[in-house]
Amino acid sequence: MQSRYLKDVIHRRSRYAIENKLPLSQEEFLLLVENALKYCPSANNSQSGRIVVLLQEHHNKFWETLKTLLQEMIKPEKFPKTALKIDEFNAGYGTILFFEDQETVTGLQTKYPKYAHNYPDWSMQSSGILQYIIWTALSSVNIGASLQHYTEIINEYVTLQYNIPRNWKLISQMPFGGIVAEPEEKTFLPLSERMRIYPE
């Protein structure tokens, strides 16, 4: 017997072929994201995760700005391939920006000095959990998404454009939208190389 949750885990994939539509209302989508943020686990219940949701022209401007910045960095003969990739993200309904509040992290380091060296790692683990919760939840309602990491390139624009506190560290970007096409079949390494059971 397989749980509904594991079925959703199996269904979640990186989906790049997305469109500017959602199979549910924008209000329902936002409630999904809010609940994921609210109930995501974090070290000492610090709730260090932060999210910015970009919709409509803000979503489009984000990816157009990134494309402009990338054009300045990439050789002209290689840029068309990159531009097509960015256009795929831009074709979606919106983008979720994930952050971690570094003031919260340093506060925990001060409060619990014995474990201070662990808190940056625990913060990133919590962020990964939050990203995965949202990604899987979106997939469960047939919204396609992928996880992108153009952080260093777009960070200054995001900070200035959306008045982001300097203590918010940008971690990743998740473009999402209606699913246009399914990805190729996923391949797997043998589980015997990845999992051990004792006693054998």
pLDDT in tens, 76-127: 999 999 999 999 999 999 999 999 999 999 999 999 999 999 999 999 999 9
For residue 2, count CB atoms less than 10 angstroms from its CB and return exposed for 0-12, middle for 13-18, buried for 19 or more.
exposed
CA-to-CA distance for 84 and 69, rounded, in angstroms? 15
Q: Is residue 12 in a domain? A: no
Q: Is residue 187 in a domain? A: no
Residue 181 DSSP label:
S
Q: What is the pTM of this model?
A: 0.96
Tokens representing 4? Answer: 């509904």
Q: Which residue has the tokens 């014995």?
A: 114
Query: Which CATH number covers residue 144?
Result: 3.40.109.10
Q: pLDDT tens-digit profile of 179-196?
A: 999 999 999 999 999 999
What are the C-alpha distances in Å from 179 to residues 2, 54, 139, 152? Answer: 25, 18, 9, 28
Amino acid code (one letter) for 39: Y
Q: Is residue 65 in a domain? A: yes
Q: Is residue 13 in a domain? A: no
Q: Is residue 152 in a domain? A: yes
Q: Is residue 4 in a domain? A: no
Q: Where in the sequence is the domain holding 52, given as residue range(s)? A: 24-179
Our count of domains for the chain comes to 1
Q: What confidence tier does 200 reach under pLDDT thresholds 50, 70, 90?
A: confident
CA-to-CA distance for 66 and 173, rounded, in angstroms? 12
> Would you say 150 and 121 are in contact if contact means Cβ atoms under 8 Å apart?
no
Q: Is residue 99 in a domain? A: yes
Amino acid code (one letter) for 38: K
